[in-house]
Structure 1
Amino acid sequence: MYVKRDGEGEILLVSRELTPQCDEYLAADSRELLDFMFEQESRNDLAHFQASDLAFVRVLEDVIELLMDKGVIRFTELPEAAQQKVMERQSMRHRLNGLHLVADQDEDDGVI
């Protein structure tokens, strides 16, 4: 494997082939290369997990709204901190939807 390093000697880029950018050879089982690859994979996993969290927040918003609409729970039964967060999210969503910055595809197809 061939690598490109930054000014401090840290691996920035890896290539299977020698390129103008990646011109230093490291064995594929090199501890330094394996650490770099694991770190990159961990970052990708974390980014995917965070994106999933953002989508799941929307699901929770919809579930809370549905439960309140059906009278299963009352807004005032939520802990005060939860009430604040729900109101903040509703306010932000309303403002952003008014500016057409948030695409609300979910509401059109009836899927939560």
Structure 2
Amino acid sequence: MLKTINNQNKTSFVNNHNNNLLYELSVDEASVIIGGYTLVNNTNGRQYFSTLGPTRFPKNRDLVPGGEDNYPGQENYILYREKDDPFTPVIFPVDDPEGTYEFAAQNGVTSIKRLF
């Protein structure tokens, strides 16, 4: 049986049958196990957005500059602001529920791009 221990952006798995066995996984490695996608904020500002899916209610989220997090693959749409003025909402479809995506900004326009 495996126990999950969360510790500052890493997930560790401890095997009860061998307590000396400890693995620390990166966010990307953990997303493969739990079946989610990773979103990275490569902008200079905090990004506020919502994740949602056909069977999931929207959840408000945010990422600090340089931050990254993992989201369930069932929340396969991201609602975010392309521009603040005028307010321009965009719905981005997540086509790979185990992929890695980034917020990027250029000339005042924020976009989401797939990294890999």
The bucket for the TM-score relative to the shorter chain is under 0.3
Between structure 1 and structure 2, the one with the greater Rg is 1
TM-score in terms of structure 2 length: 0.20
TM-score in terms of structure 1 length: 0.20
Compare relative contact order (CA 8 Å, sep 6+) and give the higher one, 1 or 2: 2
